[in-house]
Structure formats: structure tokens, C-alpha cells
Amino acid sequence: MNEREKRFLMAAAEIRKLTIQAMAAAGYGHIGGCMSVCDLLAVLYEEILNVDPRDPHKRDRDYVVMSKGHCGPALYAALAYRGYFDRELLLTLNANGTSLPSHCDRLKTPGIDFSTGSLGQGVSLGIGAALGNRMQGLDSYTYIITGDGELQEGQVWEGVQFMAHHGVANAVLIVDNNGRQLDGYTAEICRQYDLAAKFAAFGLTVFRADGHKPMDIYRALTAAKRCRKPSAVILDTEKGRGCCFAEIPGFNHYMVITPAMAQEAIREIDRRLERALCGA
């Protein structure tokens, strides 16, 4: 295991723990989808992104658009991990007067560039931002994180068609393909068919990776950037992955979370990290 992979694994573990602690303080949260993007967020904020926590609005920064805005708590944890704000602030998640609402709000949280939560709209916002940055001559990328359930929104495919037609190569659409949505499995509610073939048919260059292997994610994202074409990265994930109490239930989109549940989950994250670093 090289040093880069170790950094990614440690970052993902820390982001998971911070997310769980924040939700335990609130008493509830969208745990399933938050956990399935933690490895991705670790890779983005540990190495991929051109961002500066000391200057959140720097002109040439890369953007992250959490189109599935209910997974904002995982993004907040990544931002706190990266140093955008004090980690103690995470314990105010969704409390009255907090700057960390349950869904992303660009007017409240340092490091959040787009308010999201109405599914599908974040894709259009991200593509528009990437095109705008290109028109201004900025060398920046926009990484748009969408869920596989969210792909049932027609607005997503309108955005993808626009992205391909206008050659918006500085946007990367990332799919958290965890196989579930709010009330069940995507295959049972509305089949997605062949996602890679669909994106390719719309004109995107498609990359695929194991969404829980940070080095696979890293290679897919760097390949998408190098190809200099409008691209999609499909990450095959498991909803709730990395949080022991959320890995078991059939329904794990949103759960009540107690301090005891959180403490056990954090201990298990530490155990798994130690095994992974030791090569077990």
C-alpha cells in the first residue's frame, strides 16, 4: 500500500466518523447516502480539488456540487476535515440558527457553492457553472455528485445532453450508484438499465470504479480529467457502507441515531481502518 492510498483511507475514516458524530448530535440523518460517498469525498478533498479553505471564494477554485443535497452532512464533514471551519460546528447540524442545515445551502456554509436538495437541479447548476467558468477562461473543474435514484429525474438527462452538445469538458458527473433510493431498491422502483450505455448514448465519455476503493476512484477521476471530454464517472457503492448499524437494515436512507450507536460505529471504523492499514 502506497502513501497516497493510506492518506485516502485515513481521510475516508475520519470523514465517516465526523458525519456520524454530527448526526448523533442531531439524533437522526440521511446516513445511508452519506456513507456511500465518504470514500469519494476523501479522494476529492485530500488531493483532487484545487481549493483553499483559507480563501473559499478564490476565483479559479474547483466546485463540488452535492446534487443529492440531503447528503450535505457528509460534505460538511469533508469541509471540516479540510479546515473550512471548526469541527465542533458539526455538532450543531440542523439545530436552530446553525450554519449547517440538513440540505446544502450556499448562503450558510463556507465551502458550499450551490444550494441543493431538490433532486436533479444540482446537475443543471453544476453544468452551467462549469460552462460559465470556461467562458471566463478559468482553469477549473466542477464535480457534480448525483445519486442513482436521482437519475430518474428528467432534468438530469436534459443537463447531460446540454453538457455533451456544448462540450462542457470541465464538468465531471459522478454517480453514487448504491442501488437504493428513499423507499427501496432502484431496480424494483424504476430500473436504470445500463447506466454506462445511457451516458455514452448521450455523448459522454464514461469511466467506472469501485466507489469504496479510493485508488480506483482516484484513477477514474484523473482519467476523466485527462480525457478533456464531457465525462461521467459511475461509482458502484453500497448504501450505508462503513457504518455498522446502517449496513444491516433494508431501509437505511434515513435513520434515528443514538450516541451509543454512533460510538459503536466509530469504534468499528477504527478497527477496519487498522486492519486495512496493516494489509489484513
What pLDDT shows up at residue 7? 97
Contact call for residues 244 and 268 (beta carbons, < 8 A) = yes
Contact call for residues 260 and 21 (beta carbons, < 8 A) = no
Q: Which residue has the cell 433494508?
A: 250
- 3-state SS, 50-74, equals CCCCCCCCCCCCCEEEECCHHHHHH
* Exposed / middle / buried, residue 95 (Cβ in 10 Å: 0-12, 13-18, 19+): exposed
Domains in the chain, number: 1
Phi, psi (5° rounding) for residue 146?
-125, 160
Rounded to two decimals, the pTM is 0.96
Q: Which amino acid is at 68?
A: K
Give the residue numbers spanning the domain of 239: 3-277
Distances from the Cα of 12 to the Cαs of 37, 40, 214, 273, in angstroms? 9, 8, 9, 9
| Whole-angstrom distance, CA of residue 269 vs CA of residue 251 | 21
What pLDDT shows up at residue 250? 82
What pLDDT shows up at residue 249? 79
DSSP state of 120: T
Q: Which residues, at least 6 apart from 234, have a Cβ–Cβ distance to it below 8 Å? A: 175, 177, 195, 196, 199, 206, 207, 208, 209
CATH value at residue 122? 3.40.50.970
Note down pLDDT in tens along the chain; length 280 residues: 899 999 999 999 999 999 999 999 999 999 999 999 999 999 999 999 999 999 999 999 999 999 999 999 999 999 999 999 999 999 999 999 999 999 999 999 999 999 999 999 999 999 999 999 999 999 999 999 999 999 999 999 999 999 999 999 999 999 999 999 988 999 999 999 999 999 999 999 999 999 999 999 999 999 999 999 999 999 999 999 999 999 987 889 999 999 999 999 999 999 999 999 998 5
Rg (CA), the chain: 17
What pLDDT shows up at residue 280? 58
Residue 156 C-alpha from the chain's centroid? 16
C-alpha cell at 95: 439545530
What pLDDT shows up at residue 248? 85
